[in-house]
Every structure is written in structure tokens, then in C-alpha cells.
A and B are shown apart, each in its own frame.
Chain A
């Protein structure tokens, strides 16, 4: 998003110049407050915009940090700068605690719980004698540095500007890194994210931790600037204002959120004389932004830029290369001789409905296995059990030698299970390249990004290179920068396969990969899957396209009403009377017609 970065740096420079002394005390003070809220907004954007975790308690973390600074400096007479690491650490701890509800619930539940905890904090601060009760803590000393005392708003301005710039750089790095990709993938589709190996729970806690980091910084600097904290300083009304700032600026954009905060505070200060009508107008603005521009100003800017870009570039149609068989040149995967998937007596119920009924099935290495059956026969349910999405009610299931019963989807992905979905589940806000890159195994570890960013960045470069290779192998290089929503359906399916292969799987499960494809595309799909098998990856696919199944699969299993009818070679299966009855009805079975639905 280079345009956004350019714009923001422009704004930063402008603000820096403006704050350098040309403006009077009030304007600088306003900018100071704006910069603090910008830091807060950046943190909130990481948690909510980038990672999709509702966090209405950001203001409480802000408050914990502010109060920590206040108490340490006024009651215990610490030096101001010594309180910074402590405040940030306590804020981090609070953020991690807040991440725990996020493991149990999302969306409006997480919203009301975090909101309630924010109220609880405010109320606690109003009661606790250590925190000064309702009157708060005043006379917090302003910080000094190298002999300079930051006790004028002008001096504080440079301190805050520096903090914001550092914060933006760090947040931008996180967002654009492999970790950021994972957070955004989780936001877009946490089920698919788990399926490609993302530890969703850890990511959620990480999202809160990053937000808390910024809130911790902001809280400490706020205490030093204003010199006074009280429960009202960190009330839920401030939280709602912060949320509005982020929404107006554009919650998925780090820079947008920061800009939104600065804009709103500056606007409020300009309207400082206009009380009630200003409030009314502000409410109208909030509604208008949400209704007309849900991605905020940053979103509007991005949309116009992208529109201009595509309009400029239209005229050349993108050339999609047909699949050229290059996958077969990839490094071979160690073949498995024995059972790849072992299912014994598997049952899965939804209420009274038996989705899977005592299924016993062995799938061996080195074959392409097909799974067919009428709609509602339990095929996708079977896949979901195999990938850890559903927990079986009875029976045992081992995949690649591992008992899946206690495994999370991301754990199964880590041991080599990959899948595609019946309805394409690509991450809609990630480009084709990013979709693939986020699936690359052995990407950076979480702690690397947080503490040793250069290692994380190195891993990201490597992951990107590998992802480009895979895209190239599948003939998708030309659309690497496109968003999935901009691609025709057939290509989206191919991208999903690319993403699945990025994880270097030993087992690839495909759920109706040919649905919606035309004849050429189906043929290409067959070629791709044969090459995948040639490399050593085991392939299992659910399909309705009988000609593909017959030509591609070495063995076929048939499910009907949750039960396994037969598992054998395609030719045998298509003539089996039970199968024919299931598909074509009793009369056809009696008549001896084979199943040849095309």
C-alpha cells in the first residue's frame, strides 16, 4: 500500500513542521492529545482492524498504564522514564488477560464482555484508594530527558511525534509481515486459517497483546502530558470515541486509524464552541461514515486509487497461462506405503441426524482416492472430521498415523494435512500471492516478529519466494497481485490448491474441486492432481463429476445417508447395484444401468 504510506509520511512531515513552533500553545496541545490517541488507535487497529478481534477494553488497558505511571511517580516517587517499561508490561499483562475471552467467543459476545470489563475497570479505579478514588491522581511530573524537561507542549510534541512514528513503523512491519498475514487471514476466515496451520488461539491472544503494547505506551505518555488521571479519563465514552476515530479513519489501515484519530480530535477542537449542535452533527457523521464508507477514509482512498490503477491498466487482458505440468518438477515428498487414512466405526451426529454412521474405511498411500455420494451423504462431514473441524462421536480416526480425536485443525495441518473447501474459502482481502504465502510452512515464529524483527523479515522473504514458485508452477504468476474476488471461479479454485500445496502437505483433501469448472478446466484439474500425486502427495477428493472420478481416481468410496456402501475400483463401483440405486433409484438398479453421471 505504497500510496497510503506516501500520504501518511507527507502528513507526518506537515504535522512536524506545523508543530515546530508556528502554532500557538492550544493548537500544539491539541496535536499532542491527538498524537496520543493516534498511538491508541494504531494499537486498536492492529487488534480489531487487522486481526478482527473486537476489543472494547482498549481504553481500560490505556487506563491501567496511565494509572501505573501515576501511582509510581506520585506515591512511590519513581523517575518518570522508569515507569515506562513497567506501565507497558502491566498493560501487556492486562491485554493478554483480555485475550482469554477471545478464545471462547467472538463478535458481539466478545464486544459486550470487553465492554463490561472496561466498565469494571473504571468502577474499580473510582473505588480503589491507591488509585485516588473518584478524584483521581494529580500532579504527575512530566518527564525529563538528557537534561531537557518535557514540560511544555512544544517539547512534548516532538516526543510524541517520535513515539507515533516508531509505533507506525512497527505496526506497519507487523501488519505486512508473515505474522500480519496470518492475523488478517484469521480475520477473514478463521476456519480456513486453522486449516492451513494457523494457531488461531495464539493469534487471537497475540492480537490483544499488540494492541496492549500501544495502549501501554499511550497511557504512560498521556500521564506525563496531562499530569492528571481519573476514572472519567478512561470511561467507556472515551472508548466509543476511540472506536469512532478508528472507523472514520479506516480500521483495517494502520495509517488510516492514526489519521482518523488526529482528524477527529482536531475537528473537535475547532468545534469547541458549538456544543449541542456539534454533538448532533458528530452523531450524524458517525452514522454516515458507517453507512456510506464502512472502510473509512483510508478505504475510500484505497478504492479510488485501485480504481484509477485498473482503469489505467485496462486494455491489456491478463494472460493466464494454462497449466504446464510444472508441479511434477517439485521436490518429491516421501511416499507413504501403508494406510494414510484409517477410519474405524466412525459416527457423527447432529442432533437426531446421523451424518456419519459407523463408517470403516482405509485409504492407502500412492493412490488418488475418490469419495462420492448423493448430496447429504456425509462426505464433507467426513472431511471435517479428518481435518479436526468436527469431533467424532464414536469410532477412531487416524490420519498420517496420528489420532485426530484430540487434534486441532492447525495441528493436523502441521503434520501434513491440507484441504480445499466446498465453497472456495480464500482470504478475501489478501492477494493471490499473500493467500499462498500465508500457507507456507516454516514461516516465522510469533516471538521472532515481536522481538527480533529482522529474522521474521528474512523468513518472510523466503516464504514469498517459495509462494511465487508455487504460483508459477500452477500458471498463476500473472494474477499474483489480484484479490480473489477479482478472479473467475475456476482460477479461484486453482489458487485454493496453490494455498493448500504451500504447506508442503503429505495428504491433500479436495472438496468438490471441479464444481463450477468447464470442460477444459476440469481436464487441467486432472493434470494438476496427477502431478501432485506423482510428487508423492496423497490425494483424496470428493466429487460429483463422474467422468473426472472415473478417469482420475484409482479407488472410489461411496457414501449414502452417512453409511459406506462400497470402496473399490471405479469400474466395479459404478456397476454396483446399491450404488446405482442410491444415485438413480431402484428401477435403474434393477435395470442394471451403471452410474455414469458426467
Chain B
């Protein structure tokens, strides 16, 4: 019989604890720096002493905030965005900053919660920050936009919901195409290029999934096609047997997935195991690392669309990936890339305004043209900078551009 005396029990715990620590230290992602590390700030060299007061200041560091989820379910998005932004900003600071002034980044955790993000936005307004990177979550972006608009602080978000563009807010910019762009590319490919007639849809009902669903449906309608199935699932759902079996019965040629990376991977796994042979098509999540990990070999053959296909596409992306690998030991994907592009654009704009924020900065951003990792940026009145995405197919666990 198991006989754990009091002392032995403590010993077991200690031994177990050390083993766990050892195991954890050798885990694949342990080399990532903890989120929100102060790697962004460098000693303000040569700055003229005076601490920045609220609002515009013409000397001292340029204060920029990053608002993202650093804890909770969306924290990986936040971590990725921080990586992309800090890479760009560190390089700019090393090259002399803006007119000799260093950019000082501060990360704020909004926990993916709208109330917290409004609090954070207020902190940003009171703290003398002149620009905001993020939030990565569409709902949080919608929550903070009015507050930052009032203080005339521009933001650039990685959220892609059309609802953000529909804010028509002159201080809001997106570093990614909106769902409409993604899905019209996808729909055009499916209907026009491949000639699919029967297309099924499965999407979730959070803000991303809903916007994907609506955009794809609109794009299909514009091409005169009605989907043969339109299943909606919840973001937390684990079992898709019912939805997928219903879809299988309609014998679709293609299955559109509108969900985040992990859920898409789970859906693909279950679809394949249920014998669904339809061509899987989806947006950026299909090309992202968590999807590839979760779906494993089932990912091969899936087609996705994204402005950033992969790290080996051209010299620019290769250099970028190498830099991220060197700085953070991580393999980047779309999240880091678009954050990086956004940061580069803001740096260019800041050079134009000589470190000034407010409306001048917003106008400068809008006027900036930039060839980035995710495309050629040219901002419209709603703040959307990139309007095209590319198609890619997964081969041997890698995203390869589709011709």
C-alpha cells in the first residue's frame, strides 16, 4: 500500500518540484523572454534632460505605448506584437532615433478585457504618450478608439475586423488588410480560379470569426455563389462532430474556416478524421504556427490567404526572420511582421513631424507610403493601409505561395 509519511511526502514534493523546474527549463518556448520585458527601452543618450510632460514635448524621449493582452487567452498575440514593434524601434534607436531623441516604449497589459483597455487608454492619455501600438484584439481597439481620438493620439492596430475600419476614425490605422480583403481574395480564388460551386462554411462567433464569416459571405454573394452550409461554432468549442458531419452530407468541394489558429487546427483534424475531402480554405490563421502545430500533417494541402506568407519568400522576409530569431529566439509569422511594418511606418512619420504627435502625426502616417513585409502601404481615409493579400498552400508544414 502506498505509505507516504509526512517527511517522505515533503521529499517527494521537493524532488518533483526540481524535476518540473528542469523539464520546464528545457521546454521549447522557455527561451522566449517574459512578455513586457524592458528590452525596448535604452538609456536616453544625449537627450536634453527634461522629463516629458503630458502632451507634446520637443526634447527628451518620445513616449509610445503598446497596449495588448499580456495575460489571459490572447496573450500570445500580445507577445508577438511586442516582438515586432520592439525590433523595429530598437533598430531605429540604435541608428540615432528621431532627430537624436530616443523612442521609449512602454507595454500595458489590457488582459484582453474592454474595461481594462479603457483604463489603460486613460493611463496612456495621462502619461504623455503620443502614439499607441495595438490593441491586437478588435473589441479592445473599438473600446479605446474614442478615448484616444479625444486626446488626438493615433493608434495602429493589428486587428483586422471591418468594424474597425467602419469607425471612420482619423486617428485609427490598421497594419493589416481587413477581413474583406482577405476573403474577397479567397473567394475569387475559390470561385473564379478553381471553379468551385459547392462551398461550405464553418466559423466561430467571436469578433474575428464573425467578421470573417460576413466578409466571405459577402464576397461569395458578389460572385453569385451561395454556400451549401453555414455552420457557426463557439470559440471554446472542442467537438465539431455535429457541424462537420452536417457539412460532409452536403458534399462540398471546399470548406471555408473562419476561426483563430488553434480552433482552425482542431476543426481540420476532426474534418479529416471524419473523412471530409473538401479543399480547406481560410485566412491568415491557416498559415500561422499554432495552426501548423495543431493540425500537424493534416495541414498539408490547406490553402490560406495572408499578406505575409512565410519567412522564406524573399530577402526582406528572410532578413526579418533572422533578426527576430536572433533577438527573441522565435520564428515569426504574420503577427510579428505586421507589427514590425506598423512600427516602421510610424518611425518614418515621426521623422516627418520631428517627433510631434497629435493630428500632425496622424496626417503624416496617412501620407506615408511604405513597402513592407505585408505589402505596399497606402492608407485610405479609414486607416486601412494594405488592401491585398496573397494566397499560399501548406506543403510539408511550410507555407508556399500559390501561383
Contacts and interface: CB of A to CB of B under 8 A. Distances in A.
Interface of A: 24-27, 29-30, 33, 123, 126-127, 133-136, 138-139, 153, 226-230, 232-233, 235, 237-238, 268-269, 272-276, 278-279
B202 interface: no
Contact of A29 (B107, B122, B161): B122
Give the top 7 A-B pairs by smallest Cβ distance, nearest first. Answer: A26-B126, A29-B122, A134-B207, A275-B70, A275-B36, A275-B109, A26-B122
B127 interface: yes
A134 B139 contact: yes
Contact of B34 (A126, A127, A238, A276): A276
A229 B139 CA distance: 9
A91 to B, nearest CB: 18
6 contacts: A134-B210, A136-B114, A138-B146, A230-B139, A238-B115, A273-B107
Contacts of B36: 273-276
Contacts of B142: 135-136, 138, 228, 230
Interface in B378-392: none
A272 B122 contact: no
B163 A25 contact: no
A278 B109 CA distance: 10
B146 to A, nearest CB: 6
B178 interface: no
Contacts of A235: 113
B107 A30 contact: no
Interface in B56-76: 70-72
Contacts of A227: 146
Contact of B106 (A25, A273, A276): A273
Contacts of B120: 272
Nearest to B70: A275
B138 interface: yes
Contacts of A233: 113-115
B122 A30 contact: yes
B113 A232 contact: yes
B123 to A, nearest CB: 5
Contact of A228 (B127, B143, B161, B211): B143
Max chain B Cβ within 10 angstroms of own Cβ: one of A24, A134, A268, A278? A134
A464 B142 CA distance: 55
B205 A127 contact: yes
Interface in B9-55: 34-36, 54
B115 A33 contact: yes
B377 interface: no
Interface in B90-127: 106-109, 112-116, 118-120, 122-123, 125-127
A33 B125 CA distance: 16
B300 interface: no
A123 B206 CA distance: 10
Nearest to A37: B115
A29 B119 contact: yes
Nearest to B108: A272
B273 interface: no
Interface in B186-237: 205-207, 209-211, 234
A26 B205 contact: no
Nearest to A277: B34
Given A127-B205, A276-B70, A26 B106 contact: no
A228 B209 CA distance: 20
B221 to A, nearest CB: 18
Contacts of B72: 237
Contact of A135 (B71, B146, B210, B234): B210
A153 B116 CA distance: 16
Contacts of A153: 122
B71 to A, nearest CB: 5
A389 to B, nearest CB: 44
Contacts of B113: 232-233, 235, 237-238
Contacts of A126: 205-206
A135 B161 contact: yes
A269 B122 CA distance: 10
B210 A123 contact: no
A238 B114 CA distance: 11
B126 A134 contact: no
B172 to A, nearest CB: 12
A405 B191 CA distance: 74
Contacts of A273: 36, 106-108
Nearest to A119: B236
B123 A232 contact: no
A273 B108 CA distance: 6
A95 B69 CA distance: 32
A228 B125 contact: no
Nearest to A133: B210
B276 to A, nearest CB: 25
A172 to B, nearest CB: 27
A154 to B, nearest CB: 12
Contacts of A29: 118-119, 122
Nearest to B146: A227
A25 B122 contact: yes
A228 B143 CA distance: 6
Given A135-B210, A230-B139, A24 B114 contact: no
A30 B125 CA distance: 12
Nearest to B161: A135
Contacts of B205: 126-127, 133-134
A226 B143 contact: yes
A510 B107 CA distance: 68
Interface string B316-358: 0000000000000000000000000000000000000000000
A499 to B, nearest CB: 46
A598 B163 CA distance: 85
Contacts of A127: 205
B205 to A, nearest CB: 6
A272 B109 contact: yes
Nearest to A235: B113
A337 B113 CA distance: 71
Contacts of A228: 114, 118, 142-143, 146
A139 B167 CA distance: 10
A75 B114 CA distance: 21
A31 B112 CA distance: 21
Contacts of A30: 119, 122
Contacts of A134: 139, 205-207, 209-210
A232 B112 contact: yes
A232 B114 contact: yes
B367 to A, nearest CB: 28
A138 B140 CA distance: 11
Contact of A26 (B70, B123, B139): B123
